Amino acid sequence: MLKVQGHPNRLGVRGWAVGGRWGLERYLYTLHRLTGVGLILYLLLHILVTSSRAFGQAAWEAAMGRVSGPVFHAGEYLVFAAFAFHAMNGIRLVLVELGFGVGKPIEPVYPYKTSVDFQRSLAVGSLVLAGVLLVLGTLDFFVLD
């Protein structure tokens, strides 16, 4: 294959948001990645805080004291919101990536109906379930607490 030295034009992270028709599933894709990164960062913080128990009761209480303010409480709520979305959307992705809900190969006749249309009810359903989880979590965090 002929090799040509062209001008780089790869979108990079911008490609998560631009370059297509901005469908719902693209936003879910981006949000899934962002919430995934957020949950990993929380996990690291969680391990860091709980590992302080290995250094004695005083170290543990000091660490817990540092993360007990309103800022961290709000942060925990955001972690829960990220979990609610990531878990429900993750279930949709497992189903879709195993070929469920995307439909069978069809004769493409314009206007085209694609696998994105076939699985749309799954996408909406996962968002509704994430919303229900979020409402329950909100009640637990701010009302029943």
Partner 1 sequence: MSDAKQILYRVRRYDPARDGAPRWQDFTIPRTPGMTVLDGLWTIKQTLDATLAWRASCRMGVCGSCGMLVNGRPRLACNTQVSELGADVVALAPLPNFDIIRDLVPDLAPAFDAHQALMPFIVREDVQERENPTGEFGQSAEELEHYLQFSYCIKCGCCMAACPTYATDPSYSGPMPLAQAHRYNADTRDEGFRNRKETLAGERGPWRCHFAGECSRVCPKGVDPAKAIQLMKRELVLDYLRLRRAHASAPVAPKPKDGKRRPDVPDAPARTV
> Under 8 Å CB-to-CB from 63, ≥6 apart: which residues?
49, 52
Distance between CA atoms of residues 85 and 127, nearest Å: 7
Specify the residue, 107 or 145, whose C-beta has the smaller distance to partner 1: 107
Report in angstroms how near the CB of residue 106 gets to partner 1 at its nearest: 6
Instruction: By CB under 8 A, name the binding residues for partner 1.
Output: 1-16, 18-21, 23, 25-26, 28-30, 32, 93, 96-99, 102-110, 112, 114-116, 118-119
Report in angstroms how near the CB of residue 122 gets to partner 1 at its nearest: 10
Specify the residue, 15 or 131, whose C-beta has the smaller distance to partner 1: 15
Specify the residue, 13 or 58, whose C-beta has the smaller distance to partner 1: 13
Q: How many CB atoms lie within 10 A of CB 52?
A: 17
Report in angstroms how near the CB of residue 90 gets to partner 1 at its nearest: 10
Report in angstroms how near the CB of residue 83 gets to partner 1 at its nearest: 18
Specify the residue, 79 or 96, whose C-beta has the smaller distance to partner 1: 96
DSSP state letter for 13: G
Read out DSSP for 10-25?
--GGGGGTSSS---HH
Instruction: Determine contact, residues 110/93, Cβ cutoff 8 Å.
Output: no
As given in the structure block, the two tokens for residue 87 are 């878990």
